[in-house]
Amino acid sequence: MKILVADDSRVMRQIVIRTLRQAGYDDHDIVEAEDGADALAKVSSEKPDLVLSDWNMPNMTGI
Amino acid sequence: MTELQDTGERRRSADAPLSITALIDEETVQSIAQEAWSALVGEDEFLVPLPGGLPDDAVSSWVDVRGPWNGAVVITTGRSTAEQLSRELLKEHAPPVLDDEDIEDGLGELANVVGGNVKAVLPGPSALGLPEVGSAPAAGPDTCRVDLLWRGQSLTISVQGATGAPLDN
């Protein structure tokens, strides 16, 4: 499974990825996006199975 | 028939800004902060409610809250404490030397999480701004402030009304 983690904070992306690994999702492919616009582009290019997104981000929100 | 005069008294009363000290107390702010520290910094990381002096190089991070209550949630601590906090947040992904961007990102995210949970206990729908980092914004009289120690180092968290909030930077 490919998971897209979208958050404008690098620290928070690391926390989410660490939490995923601790929860047993350590053998999945994880892709990062640094704001809403980047997330939208990577949804198209990476075609993730799951998106975990922050809401409040610059450029474009997670919604 | 006597015409009722609009003195504006009732309207002024209804429009009066909400006081943060009527909406949240220090114990709640400390509890919210402790939850954030346990979840993000580490399960065994504790905030002790004791006052301590902030160093000269203190740095602040804050998020604005806009809604029925307008203001900001501000975390202020020494630069080296902010660096240690960011290192703990990044854990094994922390580089040997943290740059300013990492430190500001870490402290900003703590303000973001604490601010989001403060927003959740305030009345009505509110919006949260993006985290900002810089010099401590001035606090007005409408402030609920807690002085804490983390690993023996001073840290303050203020929920402060818009008078002293950095709303239009």
pLDDT at B36 over 50: yes
pLDDT at B160 over 70: yes
Q: Does A23 touch chain B (CB under 8 A)?
A: no
Residues A24, A27: Cα–Cα separation, whole Å: 8
Q: What's the topology of domain B20-161? A: Chemotaxis protein chec (3.40.1550)
Residues near B40 by Cβ (< 8 Å), separated by ≥ 6? A15, B89, B109, B110, B113
Predicted TM-score (pTM) of the model is 0.85
Model pLDDT, residue B138: 84
Model pLDDT, residue B132: 95
Nearest to B91 among A10, A12, A18 (CB): A18
Q: What's the topology of domain A2-53? A: Rossmann fold (3.40.50)
pLDDT at A23 over 70: yes
Which ipTM was obtained for this model?
0.82
Look at residues B10, B29, B2, B56 and name the one whose alpha carbon lies nearest to residue B157: B29
User: Which residue of B63, B88, B93, B128 to mutate against A (max A Cβ within 10 Å)?
Assistant: B93
Domain boundaries, chain B: 20-161
Q: What is the mean pLDDT of residues B31-53?
A: 95
> Which of B3-12, B61-70, B153-162 has the lowest average pLDDT?
B3-12
Look at residues B66, B58, B86, B54 and name the one whose alpha carbon lies nearest to residue B153: B54
Domain boundaries, chain A: 2-53
C-beta atoms of A10 and B89 within 8 A: no
The model's pLDDT over B91-131, given as tens digits with 9 standing for 90+, comes to: 888 889 899 999 999 999 999 999 999 999 999 899 999 99
Query: What dihedral angle (degrees, nearest 10) is formed by the CA atoms of B107, B32, B19, B149?
Result: -60
Q: What is the mean pLDDT of residues B57-85?
A: 95
User: Which residue of A9, A11, A14 to mutate against B (max B Cβ within 10 Å)?
Assistant: A11
Q: Does A63 touch chain B (CB under 8 A)?
A: no
Q: What is the mean pLDDT of residues B25-54?
A: 95
Mean pLDDT of chain B: 88
Model pLDDT, residue B168: 42
pLDDT band at B139 (very low <50, low <70, confident <90, very high): confident
- Residue with structure tokens 């943290």? B98
Q: Does A35 touch chain B (CB under 8 A)?
A: no
